[in-house]
Amino acid sequence: MNRLTHHFRHQVAAACCALLTACSGTQDPQAVMAAAKARMEAGEPAAAAIEIKNLMANDQAASGQLPALRSLLGQALLESGDPVGAEVELKRALQAGQPDDVVVPQLARALLAQQKHAELLNTLGGRQLASPDADAALRTTLATALRNRGEFGKATAEVNKALERKPEHVPALLLLASLHAADQRDKEAFEILQAVLRRDASNVQAWTIQGQLQAAKGQAAEAVAAFEKALKLKPDSVSAHAALVVLELSRNDVAAAKTRWEAMNKALPDNPQTRFHEAKVAFASGDARRARELTVPLLRTGDQNLGLLQLAAAVELKLKAPARAESLLGKAVALAPTAPVPRLMLAQAHLAGGQAAKATHVLRPLLQGEQPPEQALLLAARAALLQGAAQEADAWFAQAAKLYPGSQELANAAAVSGIRKNLTDDALNELQAVVNTQADHGAQLMLVSARLAKGQVEAAQATLAEMARKAPQDPFPHELAGRVALKQRDVAGARKHYEAALALDPAHYPAIAGLAGIDMADNQPDKALERFAKLLEREPDHLLALMAMAEVHERKPGGMAEAARLLERAVQTHPDQRGPTELLVELWLKQQKFTAAAAAAQSGLTHRPDDTGLLELLGKAQLGAAQAQQAATTYTKLAQLLPRSPEPWLRVAEIQLSQGRLAAATEAAAKARKVAPEALPVLRMVAGLAARAKRFDQALAAARDLQSAHPEEAAGYLIEGEVHLLEGDAGLAEKAWRLAMDKRNGTEAAQRLYALLSQQERKAEVDKMVAQWLSRHPKDTAFMLRLAGTEIDRKNYAAAEALLRKVHLQQPRNVDVLNNMAWLMTQQRKPGGVAYAERAMVFSPDNAVLMDTLAMAYATEKRFDEAIKTQTRAMTLMPESGALGLNLARIHLMAGDKPKATKVLQEVVAKPFAGQAEARQLLASLRGG
């Protein structure tokens, strides 16, 4: 039967069914379903969908047939190009009881069409259908999803399962052929295709795959013939049209590719693939802006399409927008974690954005195999150079030369390896002579690496200058020269090189960041901000610029609010990027705005629900906001995502213990111990909980386990002493702690012994023990801080000051030490408190606690205006703090202003805080006075 007769027969059948239904006056579900199937076979799925929807609108007519109708409607919607609607109807059909064999293969296709690979594999991957036909269809779809994710080995295994169920399943055979072709098993692929075509010479997909295979082998004429054969059979074949466009582009014949695309546009004017390939042609012809115009609307519905993401990212890189490219490629890597191309492109984007460490991280999975891609090795070497790791760069170059001896770019990497072992001038000059004959960056970077390794900075700079001469429009050599100069502390030279890079490309972020770094070192933050602001004028959504500006503002006094605003803007414009969200959460945490921190973390988790870093930050924020139970839930989820880490379970145990839930804490600790039976913090927690529950035998057993697993550590003996003290045996506790002091990390044991001897008023032994410990551990600042704390509790401020001064000499930037020194000066009515407090503020500008100390220091020195201004600003940062308000009232009283003090106290006493009773008492005294 010819195709025309076949089509006519189904048209007549559909018309007859529709006529019978209309004449009857009521809708016969069986007749409508038959008509719909006939329309679908006739290539009219949209019309079939309309008929089914009309029937389903009549509840009485559709009664009893609803599951089958939904299934058929889903299939019709899928065939008419509406996979979203198809998914909805097919899932409803399953829920209504329609058999898996009927629905699941179609549902799998609907998910695949939407590029929902993870959902497809997770929800349907474990199904096995009864019907061989249905199961083979499902397995083939699963294999296609795996192939699209770059998991070719798993895809091949899945398609082989399909062929075990149904050896002649054509879609599975064709997919296997394409997998063989990807694995360079051309002979096997051709044999499968020829077998399929012998059985059915009109199989369009077989002709298309054969053409793609021939194109890959360089048989362009044969490939064109195969594609044109496919188009003769099916003039609107998307894959055949697309293959012809790609073939011409692979031959760098943009004009021919445009002609092929015009034919595609004529046959498929409304197809998204037509627009996608138009973007490819535009990009190849150098019109990146037109390519962006085409890809942006496609991404609104196709951001799960790997090829589209890669093309759009390439366009953004071309348009000097590495942040946008990173966002797109991050999605691509998530879709296909094992595919090399997205990772290579993402590494390039990171390097273009000056983020060499990130490039190294994203390349790591590709570098771990026996045969890393050549480009991965080159990018890893470049990233190492940018991080100043010349030896590591040489190692990557050498490995590349060994694996790819035929590569001209890597021909000299072995020489570099030899130079590393024998850095002679002759060897370097020989490599220089070879490099002089080449124009590529690879060999030149190898020479730069070798020169730097030998300390020949001027020669390395000369090589970079030659690179710049050979590539006059490339800012990279100037940027790298700036990095080298900066490493040599030649700030003027670095500035000159960075400015040269920007003269070539004003939006070259690494050079902008380099100059901004110099500005910050010169204490010129406004100049650094101006550089980033200019970049944002060109690219308003530049992620790295927004984050860098936020960091600069955070360092400036009073800049926290602007830093938060910039990070919120970065989160809004790049919601799928974790970086700005993490920085925003951390910023709120620094300001102790825990509710805002939790909200920001939860917003980020809507885009990345399994992001372990964000979950940990959320847990911290929830704890700060006194949301203990929510924090426990968060850390429990984190534990499930990190099954090999005991840390989340330990956090759960701490939270439960803080809420007085000893049994729940013990259960969480047991789970942590199951994960890491001999981990030091785990055994400490287990023993501590057992002791808290007065199960002293269990606590001592855990302490002994700790001593056995970590005999060099003090922790086991420290816990043993704590248990003995809880049992009431101070002598055994002292003995255990003295043993612990001779072990590693014995500071805590020394502190405990100091406290015990002090309580027993054994002053001579205390003095002897302190002197001996500090003579053996003169840099034990933790012990000194503990002693200082004890002296403060005793109000022995002079002794505490002497101890803190010793710590300050070793840790001049320790904010807590500076703050405590300022506090001690005010308590002793001594000058110097303001200087210490202001020094602390330099390192933490918008810290309300530090402002509180500074304000009291100002007041002590009778600088009341400055004190009131500083304390008021602290209260704007932490408006919920009653303690800050109480101190403001005290400052007003020190200034002699009782009315203002009274007004402040009236507001303060309404806030729940530890000093509320004191505030009420002070207010009462003022009113009484």
Q: Note whether 458 and 479 are same-domain residues.
A: no
Q: Note whether 464 and 508 are same-domain residues.
A: no
| Alpha-carbon span 416 to 453, nearest angstrom | 11
Q: Where are the alpha helices (DSSP H) in 659-778?
A: 662-675, 680-692, 696-709, 715-727, 730-741, 747-759, 763-776
Report phi then psi at 924, rounded to 5. Answer: -60, -40
Residue 364 lies in a domain: no
Segment 23-31 long-range contacts (CB within 8 Å, at least 24 positions apart): 26/61, 27/54, 27/55, 27/58, 27/61, 28/61, 29/55, 29/61, 29/62, 29/64, 29/65, 29/69, 30/65
Write the DSSP assignment of 277-325 as a string of letters: HHHHHHHHTT-HHHHHHHHHHHHHHHTT-HHHHHHHHHHHHHTT-HHHH
The whole-number pLDDT of residue 734 equals 92
| Alpha-carbon span 55 to 27, nearest angstrom | 7
CB atoms inside a 10 Å sphere around CB 217 = 14
Paired residues of 744 in beta bridges: 713
Q: What is the pLDDT of residues 797-835, one digit of tens each?
A: 998 999 899 999 988 988 889 999 999 999 998 889 999
The whole-number pLDDT of residue 375 equals 85
Q: For the purposes of burial, counting CB atoms within 10 Å of the CB of 748, is it exposed (0-12), middle (13-18) or buried (19 or more)?
A: middle
Q: Note whether 430 and 508 are same-domain residues.
A: no
Nearest to 548 by CA among 561, 536, 558: 536
Write the DSSP assignment of 362-402 as a string of letters: HHHHHHSSSS--HHHHHHHHHHHHHTT-HHHHHHHHHHHHH
Q: Which helix (H) or strand (E) holds 836?
A: helix 833-843
Last residue of a domain, one of 522, 540, 555: 522
The whole-number pLDDT of residue 653 equals 93
Contacts of 826 (CB under 8 A, 6+ apart): 833, 853, 856, 857, 860
Residue 345 lies in a domain: no
Helix (H, G, I), strand (E, B) or coil at 559: coil
Residue 922 lies in a domain: yes
| Alpha-carbon span 758 to 866, nearest angstrom | 41
Contacts of 417 (CB under 8 A, 6+ apart): 394, 395, 397, 398, 401
The whole-number pLDDT of residue 16 equals 39
pLDDT category of residue 17 using cuts at 50, 70 and 90: very low
Report phi then psi at 712, rounded to 5. Answer: -85, -10
pLDDT at position 21 over 50:
no
The whole-number pLDDT of residue 419 equals 42
Tokens of 645: 């880490």
The whole-number pLDDT of residue 887 equals 92
CB atoms inside a 10 Å sphere around CB 142 = 24
CB atoms inside a 10 Å sphere around CB 880 = 14
Q: What is the pLDDT of residues 40-75, one digit of tens each?
A: 776 677 777 777 777 776 655 445 567 888 888 888
The whole-number pLDDT of residue 404 equals 73
Q: Note whether 886 and 902 are same-domain residues.
A: yes
Angle at 492 between CA 491 and CA 494, to 5 degrees: 65
Q: Note whether 505 and 478 are same-domain residues.
A: yes
Contact at 8 Å (CB) between 132 and 166?
yes
pLDDT category of residue 12 using cuts at 50, 70 and 90: very low
Q: What is the pLDDT of residues 119-147, one digit of tens each?
A: 888 888 888 899 999 999 999 999 888 88
Last residue of a domain, one of 455, 470, 485: 470
pLDDT category of residue 279 using cuts at 50, 70 and 90: very high
* Of 333-347, 640-654, 774-788, minimum mean pLDDT range: 333-347
The whole-number pLDDT of residue 499 equals 93
Q: Note whether 846 and 919 are same-domain residues.
A: yes
Contact at 8 Å (CB) between 341 and 310?
yes
Contact at 8 Å (CB) between 181 and 216?
yes
**Residue that the structure tokens 């803080």 belong to:** 658
pLDDT at position 864 over 70:
yes
Which one-letter DSSP state was computed for residue 471?
S
Task: Report the length, in residues, of the chain.
Answer: 929
Which one-letter DSSP state was computed for residue 234?
-
- For residue 502, the enclosing domain spans 473-522
Last residue of a domain, one of 470, 501, 533: 470
As a whole number, mean pLDDT of residues 843-860 equals 89
As a whole number, mean pLDDT of residues 420-444 equals 52
The whole-number pLDDT of residue 523 equals 87
Q: What is the pLDDT of residues 752-766, one digit of tens each?
A: 898 899 888 888 998
Q: Which helix (H) or strand (E) holds 909?
A: none
pLDDT category of residue 27 using cuts at 50, 70 and 90: low
Sign for the CA dihedral angle at 302, 306, 309, 315 comes to: negative
Cα separations in angstroms, 505 against 350, 390, 501, 719: 17, 26, 6, 62
Sign for the CA dihedral angle at 661, 664, 670, 676 comes to: negative
Considering all CA atoms of the chain, what is the largest pairwise distance in Å, rounded to the nearest integer? Answer: 113
pLDDT category of residue 406 using cuts at 50, 70 and 90: low
Q: Residue 696, CB half-sphere, CA atoms under 13 Å: how many?
A: 10
Q: Note whether 479 and 433 are same-domain residues.
A: no
Nearest to 413 by CA among 426, 427, 431, 401: 401
- Helix, strand, coil: what percent of the chain each, to 5? 80, 0, 20
The CATH number assigned to the domain holding 213 equals 1.25.40.10
Residue 370 lies in a domain: no
pLDDT at position 785 over 70:
yes
Q: Note whether 482 and 495 are same-domain residues.
A: yes
Residue 655 lies in a domain: no
| Alpha-carbon span 222 to 212, nearest angstrom | 10
Cα separations in angstroms, 438 against 340, 432, 568, 787: 27, 10, 47, 67
pLDDT category of residue 307 using cuts at 50, 70 and 90: confident
| Averaged pLDDT of the chain | 83
The whole-number pLDDT of residue 855 equals 94
Q: What is the pLDDT of residues 159-177, one digit of tens each?
A: 899 899 998 888 888 888 8
Which one-letter DSSP state was computed for residue 913?
S
Q: What is the pLDDT of residues 350-395, one digit of tens each?
A: 887 777 788 888 898 888 877 888 888 888 888 887 776 767 877 7
Residue 362 lies in a domain: no
Question: Hey, what amino acid is at 809?
Answer: L
pLDDT category of residue 446 using cuts at 50, 70 and 90: low
pLDDT category of residue 610 using cuts at 50, 70 and 90: confident
| Alpha-carbon span 140 to 152, nearest angstrom | 13
Q: Note whether 512 and 446 are same-domain residues.
A: no
Helix (H, G, I), strand (E, B) or coil at 744: strand
Report phi then psi at 744, rounded to 5. Answer: -70, 145
Q: Note whether 455 and 484 are same-domain residues.
A: no
Question: Hey, what amino acid is at 541?
Answer: D
Cα separations in angstroms, 773 against 730, 746, 756, 767, 768: 21, 10, 15, 10, 9
The whole-number pLDDT of residue 413 equals 45
The whole-number pLDDT of residue 22 equals 38
Residue 116 lies in a domain: no
**Residue that the structure tokens 């590349």 belong to:** 400
Q: Which helix (H) or strand (E) holds 9?
A: helix 3-24
pLDDT at position 631 over 90:
yes
Nearest to 622 by CA among 650, 588, 647: 588
Tokens of 723: 């248990």
Residue 392 lies in a domain: no
| Alpha-carbon span 8 to 618, nearest angstrom | 64
The whole-number pLDDT of residue 225 equals 92
* Of 363-367, 413-417, 701-705, 905-909, minimum mean pLDDT range: 413-417
Share of the chain above pLDDT 90, in %: 25
Domain count, the chain: 4
Nearest to 171 by CA among 210, 144, 199: 144
Q: Note whether 458 and 478 are same-domain residues.
A: no
Q: What is the pLDDT of residues 230-271, one digit of tens each?
A: 899 888 888 888 889 988 888 888 999 999 999 999 988 878
What is the end-to-end Cα distance of the chain in Å, rounded? 111
* Of 150-154, 199-203, 313-317, minimum mean pLDDT range: 150-154
Q: For the purposes of burial, counting CB atoms within 10 Å of the CB of 644, is it exposed (0-12), middle (13-18) or buried (19 or more)?
A: exposed
Nearest to 193 by CA among 184, 203, 183: 203
Q: Note whether 480 and 434 are same-domain residues.
A: no
* Of 3-17, 81-95, 646-660, minimum mean pLDDT range: 3-17
